[in-house]
């Protein structure tokens, strides 16, 4: 039997976690069974998460693997009625021409337009991975309610919804989005062994951190945007700056909050102690330079950076939101705090910074938590199992 065509649709093919997850899935497909095609938005002037530079790099990876792709200029992240209509028409035309067996949409905006296009094009199997959700934290109350209503309608056009964790699934179900029997739970895949090796030689501060050799380094990795909560980390550091005079904060990632976060640091007396080092490809080296990892998101499906830090054996402090509590068990393999609460985060950090032996054991338990089920191969196999089940049910 010839391989079945699977079209993956995503808004941005950049350096973000959802794009990385999608690329790993596409590149990992069993090409004897599935022939992937990628349709993504064109970043244009949007430069967060690498913008066009990152998109070009991802397209080169697809070229090297001989995987077809299309960039759609009108498929943009913000709501734009005219461009959204144009993108929908373009997607319908492409899907009618390709006649895929499966359409797999990723993230909210591509999930809306891609599933509608698949329905108009008569695609038999439609899978959607939200990679988290936008039910809270991203927008105001009324706009969030509109998104919930839209998702309730679109689940009728969806064969299977893929949640990263049980908590993400439950966030959908409690809002009446989907049915339990239509969900599959598949964690994002990472190169587990790569990150387990990150700190085998102990802490080694990489070039670019610009921290003193005797600094105590609390780090984070993520897009510099409000939803990632980095302002809360800087607020927490402000509470601790006098008690821990060697404390430095290092955040890897690009985004529009760069200047605002530095201004906040200066206002809290942290000038020269908060380092925003931009995007880094050497994530494992960055983790090797940290004493503790903080993941202060206000909303998160699971958090690829969090999983990588745990695999590396770092003690972690994370927000009690989304799918994070499904991974981090408080006082067992990490610490959980209320999202947006800088004082609570500072208290959790104080525990780690004042008891290094206990913190090290916390990190060791975190590393043991991240087993083979978080590997790339396990993720791709699980996705293809969803495809097979859906195709068999449709036959």
> What is the pLDDT at residue 131?
84
Domain with CATH 3.40.50.2000 in the chain: 4-189+375-394, 192-371
Fold of domain 4-189+375-394: Rossmann fold (3.40.50)
What does the pLDDT look like over 6-15, one tens digit per residue? 999 999 998 8
Tokens of 164: 């990263």
pLDDT category at 341 given cuts 50, 70, 90 is very high
Per-residue pLDDT tens for 279-328? 898 999 999 999 999 999 998 878 889 999 999 999 999 999 988 998 99
Instruction: Kindly state the tokens that stand for 309.
Output: 């830090």
Mean pLDDT score, 219-230: 93
| pLDDT above 70: percentage of residues in the chain | 95
| β-strands 4-10, 102-106 pairing | parallel
The residue that leads in pLDDT, 144 or 126, is: 126
Enclosing H/E stretch for 129: strand 125-129
Closest alpha carbon to 203 in 216, 184, 221:
216
pLDDT at 268 > cutoff 90: yes
Q: Which of the four pLDDT bands, split at 50, 70 and 90, describes residue 138?
A: low
DSSP of 45-98 = T--GGGHHHHHHHHHHHHHHTT-EEEEETT--SS--HHHHHHHHHHHHHHHHHH
Q: Is the pLDDT of residue 48 over 80?
A: no
Which residues lie below 8 Å from residue 264, measured CB to CB, with a gap of 6+?
231, 234, 235
CATH fold, domain 192-371, is Rossmann fold (3.40.50)
Q: What is the pLDDT of residue 281?
A: 87
pLDDT of residue 146: 79
**pLDDT score recorded for residue 243:** 97
Percent of the chain, pLDDT > 90? 75
Place of tokens 């799918």: 323
More confident residue, 378 or 44: 378
CA 317 – CA 294 distance, rounded (Å): 5
Q: Using 50, 70 and 90 to split pLDDT, how confident is the model at 135? A: low
Q: Give the C-alpha separation, 327 to 360, whole Å.
A: 18
**pLDDT tens, 104-116?**
999 888 999 999 9
Distance between alpha carbon 144 and the CA centroid of its chain, in Å? 20
Task: Identify the residue whose tokens are 């745990």.
Answer: 310
Say how far apart CA 287 and CA 8 lie, in whole Å.
Answer: 31
Phi/psi-derived region of residue 339, left when phi > 0, alpha when psi is between -120 and 50, beta in every other case: beta
Mean pLDDT of the chain: 92
Q: What is the pLDDT of residue 145?
A: 80
pLDDT digits (tens, 9 = 90+) for 200-218: 888 999 999 999 999 999 9
Strands (E), the chain: 4-10, 34-41, 68-72, 102-106, 125-129, 160-163, 183-185, 216-221, 247-252, 274-278, 292-295, 316-319, 335-337
Q: Do the strands 125-129 and 68-72 form a parallel or antiparallel pair, or are they unpaired?
A: unpaired
Residue 132 reports pLDDT greater than 80: no
More confident residue, 395 or 379: 379
Question: If you average pLDDT over residues 339-358, what whole number do you get?
Answer: 97
Phi and psi at residue 16, to the nearest 5°: -65, 165
Which residues lie below 8 Å from residue 7, measured CB to CB, with a gap of 6+? 36, 37, 38, 39, 94, 95, 98, 100, 102, 103, 104, 123
């Amino acid at each position: 039997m010839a391989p079945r065509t699977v079209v993956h649709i995503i808004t941005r093919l950049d350096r973000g976690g959802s794009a990385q997850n999608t690329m790993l899935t596409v590149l990992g497909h069993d090409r004897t069974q599935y022939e992937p095609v990628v349709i993504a938005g064109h970043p244009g002037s949007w430069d967060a998460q690498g913008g066009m530079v990152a998109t070009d790099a991802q397209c080169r990876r697809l070229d090297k693997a001989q995987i077809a792709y299309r960039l759609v200029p009108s498929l943009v992240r913000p709501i734009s009625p005219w461009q959204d209509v144009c993108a929908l028409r373009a997607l319908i035309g492409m899907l009618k021409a390709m006649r895929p067996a499966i359409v797999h949409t990723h993230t909210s905006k591509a999930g809306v337009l891609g599933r509608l296009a698949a329905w108009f094009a008569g695609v038999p199997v439609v899978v959607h991975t939200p990679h988290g959700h936008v039910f809270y934290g991203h927008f105001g109350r009324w706009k969030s309610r509109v998104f919930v209503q839209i998702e309730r309608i679109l689940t009728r056009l969806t064969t299977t919804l893929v949640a990263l964790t049980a908590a993400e699934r439950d966030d959908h179900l409690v809002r009446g989005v989907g049915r339990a029997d239509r969900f599959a739970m598949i964690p994002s895949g990472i190169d587990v062994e790569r990150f387990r090796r990150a700190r085998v030689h102990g802490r080694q501060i990489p070039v670019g951190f610009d921290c003193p050799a005797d600094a105590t380094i609390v780090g984070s990795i993520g897009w510099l945007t409000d939803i990632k909560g980095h302002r809360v980390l800087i607020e927490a550091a402000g509470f601790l700056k006098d008690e821990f005079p060697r404390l430095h904060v290092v955040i890897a990632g690009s985004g529009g909050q760069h200047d605002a976060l530095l201004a906040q640091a200066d206002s809290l007396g942290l000038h020269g102690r908060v380092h925003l080092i931009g995007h880094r490809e050497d994530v494992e080296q960055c983790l090797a330079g940290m004493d503790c990892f903080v993941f202060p998101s206000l909303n998160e499906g699971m958090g690829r950076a969090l999983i990588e830090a745990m695999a590396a054996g770092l003690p972690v402090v994370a927000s009690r939101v989304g799918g994070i509590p499904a991974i981090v068990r408080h006082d067992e393999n990490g610490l959980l705090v209320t999202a947006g609460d800088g004082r609570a985060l500072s208290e959790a950090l104080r525990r780690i910074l004042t008891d290094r032996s206990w913190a090290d054991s916390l990190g060791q338990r975190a590393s043991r938590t991240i087993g083979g089920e978080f590997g790339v191969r396990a993720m791709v196999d699980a996705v293809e199992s969803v495809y097979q089940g859906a195709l068999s049910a449709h036959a």
